[in-house]
Every structure is written in C-alpha cells, then in structure tokens.
Structure 1
Amino acid sequence: MTENLNEERIATFLDALASSAPTPGGGSVAGISGAMAAGLVSMVCSLTIGKKQFADIEEEVRGIHDRAEGLRRELQALAQADIEVFGRLSAAYKLPRTTDADAATRKAAIQQVTRSAAEVPLRIAQAAAALMPLCTSLANRCARLIVSDVGVAAILVRATVQSAILNVEINLAGLEDALFVRETRAQLEDLSVGLGEEAEGILAIVRQRINQ
C-alpha cells in the first residue's frame, strides 16, 4: 500500500488490508483501533460539554477531550508510520549480499530498521494505554445513554495495546541488540500491568449503569 493511510476511505483501507499486499498489517490496525478508541472518548466529551447537568465537570471534560484528540492524531500518524517502516525493512532485505562487505551492510541496515519497526508499535501501545485513564474518568460521569461508548473505547484500548505488543515482540525476535531488547521488554511489561483489570473495572461500571 503506497497511499497515505489517513487520506483513504475506510473501504479502501479494508480492501487493502484483505489483499495479498503486506501493508497495511497488524501494526497499522493497532494504530487505527487506538485512534478509534480516542475518537469515541472525544465524542463522549463533545456530547457532555455544554450540558447544564455537567457544568461542574466541564473544564475537566474539556481537558480529557483535548488529550484524547492529541492521542488520536498521534495514533493515526503511527498507523501510517508502521506502513512506512515496513517499506524500509523490505528494502533492507533486498540489499545485495554478493560480497562480505555487501552482506555486512545489509545486515546492519536490517538491524537498524528492525529496531525502528519495534519502536513504532511500542509508541502505539504507549499512546493507546494513555487513553485508559480517560475512559476511567468518564465512565461514572458521562450521560448514561452514551456510557456504552466509553466501554467500547476501553475494549479497543486493551485490544490495541495487546495487538501493538505482538508487533513489538515479532521485531524484537530478530534483533541482536540485547540491551535494547531487554529494555523494550521491560516497557512492554509495564504497559501490560493492570491494563486488563482497569478495562474490566470500566466495563463493570458501564454494565452497571446500563442496567440501572
């Protein structure tokens, strides 16, 4: 896929995703799902701002909205970055290896780009994880009729983080930089700690409010 992901219609994106082309792939899907979660958070905020019954929390909700929009833009950009880094990695694998010098240059290029290919989904996971506290803040305070959207956002956040982590791990498996691998795995572990529990806590609140 050579087009800019953020300029495509959703049908075009899905057709490309379902095709034999290697991109967009799982990393881009993770970025888009995170952006969708952010969009839902922004929507809930937009439907809350300006309502008299929520006047006492309007300033806080505006802050949540601004944070969600920043993360949405970041996640959309990262979805495109994932496509671009795959292109660079594919090009690195096609470098000549006729001579020992060629082989060494090719190996170094692959290692360098593979590191970038791990860093992009790591940033997706980090950006998505930053959305979960926003969902927590809204779950008990938004209008009951839109609380399900907060729940969907939380589910997408959890799925995004888990999906992005898989994309980090597949690239770490090919890296020889033991320090980078170790430090990145530690970051992945930190991102995972408590994520599922927080999502389940949000969903419990959502279901309780739905059934009030």
Structure 2
Amino acid sequence: MEQRTIDTTVVAYLDALASGAPTPGGGGAAALAGAMAAALISMVCNLTIGKQRYAEAEDEMRAVLDRSETLRAELTQLAEDDVAAFNRLSAAYKLPRVTEADIAIRRDAIQEALKRATEVPLRTARAAAAILPLCPPVAERGNQAAVSDVGVAVQLAHAAIRSALLNVEINLRTLNDPLYVRQVRNEVARLTEGLATEVERLDALVMQRLRAE
C-alpha cells in the first residue's frame, strides 16, 4: 500500500513541498494550516479540561474538543485529497487526442477533474471557516496560559481559508460550466463575507484575555 503524502515527517513533507514536484502544493498546505489551527484549539481544550480552576468550563471545552478533533481529521484528509485531485487532473490532460472521439473524451475528463480539484479546496475553506466559531469560548474560558495559542489558531484558520480559495479560483478560470462556476463563486462570497472583521474581532478578544490580570 502506497504511503500517503501526509504520513511522512514534517521535514520530509516540507522537502516535498519545496521540490519541483507538483504535489504536495498550495492546496495541501492550506489544508494542513487548517488542521494545525484545529489542533491548537484541541490543545487549549486539553490544557483546560481537568483543571480545577476551569471546572465550570469543562463541559463546554469537551464539546469544543469533539468538534475541533473532527475538523482536524477532515482537514488532514483534505491535504491528501488535494494530491489525489491533482493527480486525477494531470491524468486527464495526458489522455490521447488523436481522434475527434478522443478529444471529446479528454475534454470531458478534464472538466470533471477540474470540478473535483475545485471541490477539495472549497471543502478545505468550509472546514477552516468552521474553526473560527470555536475560538471565542476557548479564548474566553479556556486555560489563560494558552490563550496565545488560540490567537495562532485564528491566524492559521484565516490563512487556510484564503489560501484554499486561491486554489478554487485558479480552477474556476478553466471550467466551462457557467452555472457551476456561478454557484462556487456565490459560496466563496459567503465564506469571505465579514471574514476580515471576524478575524479582527477574535484577535481583539485574544489580546484582551492576554492582558487580563
């Protein structure tokens, strides 16, 4: 069984990312940024649960932890799905184009593969966006000694969303299905509406807790 790209050491993954190979690339990096954001939220929850000082928040932290771990698993898998989507698209471009039938088959395969290559980063952006609502309760009621980690999670989740949507955009420009493109652009607009304002609000919340006595 072939080893998954994500089942390597951090150093090996970064070496692969830096190499001339097309995968892993920006889509996978975006997903891993999101996975790290989710992991940091989980970490702060784990540093809160079981501490007498934060006993009143324990049930809430357990609920957040369950959600953050679900998102971490999803985003980790999306990093691998991004590689698979690129490989499928690359294979479609290599299909023969000798006859008219070949050309039609190749064209359709490319369009289907482009949709798959669009869906993966779009799912990444959705999952990363779902991390942001987990940040306020952890910043406000989680272990104060780790509140800076919540701030890092906010920044990584934000980066994951914006980075994933860049990968959506590059695929949309070569898709020939106007209805699909319009639907995706509408979702992109929903995902980014108020995003910068929300990140600023979360930053301010983290800073307020950092400076609290």
Measured against the shorter chain, the TM-score band is over 0.9
Q: Which moved more, 1:71-80 or 1:142-151?
A: 142-151
Offset from partner CA, 1:80-129 (integer Å, 9 cap, x none): 00001100100100001111111110000000000000000000000000
Amino acid of the structure 1 residue aligned with 2:36: M
Partner of 2:22: 22
Mapped pair 1:111 → 2:111:
yes
Amino acid of the structure 2 residue aligned with 1:147: V
Offset from partner CA, 1:8-65 (integer Å, 9 cap, x none): 1100000000000000000000010000000000000000001112111211110100
Q: CA RMSD in A?
A: 1.0
Query: C-alpha separation between the residues in 2 aligned to 1:111 and 1:117?
Result: 10
Aligned length: 211
Mapped pair 1:195 → 2:206:
no
Contact 2:36 2:72 survives alignment (8 Å)? yes
Contact 2:96 2:106 survives alignment (8 Å)? yes
Contact 2:136 2:205 survives alignment (8 Å)? no
Runs (4+) of structure 1 moved beyond 3 Å? none
Structure 1 alignment gaps of length 5 or more: none
Identical positions, percent: 53
The within-5 A match list for 1:71-110 is 71-110=71-110
Mapped pair 1:153 → 2:158:
no
Offset from partner CA, 1:178-205 (integer Å, 9 cap, x none): 1111011101110111222111111112
Contact 2:6 2:13 survives alignment (8 Å)? no
Partner of 2:167: 167
Q: Which moved more, 1:193-202 or 1:114-123?
A: 193-202
Amino acid of the structure 1 residue aligned with 2:150: V
